[in-house]
Amino acid sequence: MTVISLVQLVPKNAISSWADEILAIDSLLFLVSAWLSYWTLRHEEQAEKLENIADWLFLSGLSVMGFVSVLIAFDLFLNK
């Protein structure tokens, strides 16, 4: 949520528009990861496979958010 708020502070340009769209998709990664983690609590027969997928999605979401955060930081400080 902090990264999404910071995007609103960036002057409107191609990077801020691109970052908004990427972060919207990124939030879906977190949502699916949380849903799969919950699902594994209810369905133990598929737990290991689904939990591995949930872990991968969560780490992918963190990586994407970190990448977008770095892009926003560089855009803010290099375009002064």
Q: What is the pLDDT of residues 49-72, one digit of tens each?
A: 999 999 999 999 999 989 988 887
Helices (H) and strands (E) in the chain, counts: 3, 0
The answer as to whether 46 is a domain residue is yes
Number of domains in the chain: 1
pLDDT category at 21 given cuts 50, 70, 90 is confident
> What angle do the packed helices 14-42 and 47-78 form, to 10 degrees?
160
Listed residue (51, 8, 50, 1) closest to 26, CA to CA: 1
Residue 19: give the domain boundaries.
14-78
The answer as to whether 37 is a domain residue is yes
The answer as to whether 8 is a domain residue is no
pLDDT of 39 reads 92
The answer as to whether 19 is a domain residue is yes
The answer as to whether 24 is a domain residue is yes
Structure tokens at 51: 């939990």
Pairwise CA distance, residues 41 & 33, whole Å: 13
